Amino acid sequence: MRKSFFCIDAHTCGNPVRLVAGGGPLLPHLPIAERRDIFVRDHDWIRHALMFEPRGHDVMSGAIIYPAHRQDCDFAVIFIEVSGCLPMCGAGTIGLVTAAIEQGLVTPRVPGRLSIETPAGRVDIQYEKPGEFVESVRMFNVASYLHAADVEVEVPGLGKLLVDIAYGGNYYAVIEPQAAWSGLDGMSAMDIVELSRKLRSALSHICDPVHPQDERISGVHHAIWCDKPVSANADGRGAVFYGDKAIDRSPGGTGTSARMAQLHGKGRLKTGEGFRQESLIGTIFEGRIEEETEIGGFRGIMPSVSGWARIIGHNTIFVDDRDPLAHGFQIG
């Protein structure tokens, strides 16, 4: 049996986004966090088939749009990536909004504005579409916070690191230059991957955060290695690691949110101030702390992040049961 999926391929500031516009599974009309659980239980082969080789690659990310369960949202989304079905993906959100608006998949109730039901909560959107194309998207992300500061962890090959744990839709280990790590200069992508794996493994025995309002969101699966910017138009630069060996090509939407939450929690970024995050390839997200909030006893922020995306093309993908590699593979 051969199954087909109609996809709109795009990239957000360099990071791929595959919007599944046709062929996604029918799911019961439940809150999207519950639908995500059903998808993972019964349909995760779709994620493997569309994200992994030979149809995808190590940094592939995507999304499937569904009708919203919440009355205050225009639609709902399940994020699919090589690393799993994330609660939230910033670059994915910017990409899917761009593709959905330009291709007419979504009709906003208010032009220039959307509200999206994500597994992490409601995410509000403002987008600029002066003509035929969407030129920029600003997402008002979920509440973000600094979970733990200056966590000491022994990393093989580096020694003792001080790491901050911050949440911006996903939990991040945030690493800044220090005695044991001088910064990103001279590091290859493979260096970042290898160190991130070691850090994540060591950290799992020390710190295992659980979201104070949703216990389904837990664990530190991402890392962001921070350094001074290369561009004069940026305030900082970061290499975002996720999955088994993925380095985000964009500055990272949830990563930028977590970075701002970390800086705010340590008194280095104030409400109303902006933070422009540069990626490894030089693209920039513009972040801003919109207001302060409280998350289950933690002092936090409501961040926004602005970026752009471009549609690459349309893609009809076949998954044939006769193919021994139908459900994808990944080389370690």
Active site members: 89
**Distance between CA 113 and CA 127 in Å, rounded?**
6
- Conformation bin of residue 37: beta by default, left when phi > 0, alpha when psi is -120 to 50: alpha
**Among 325, 286, 322, 299, residue whose Cα is nearest residue 141:** 286
DSSP 8-state code for residue 269: S
By the 8 A CB rule, do 256 and 306 touch?
Answer: no
H or E element that contains 261:
helix 253-265
**Distance between CA 88 and CA 209 in Å, rounded?**
16
**Among 114, 130, 226, residue whose Cα is nearest residue 172:** 226
Amino acid at residue number 89: C
Distance between terminal CA atoms of the chain? 29
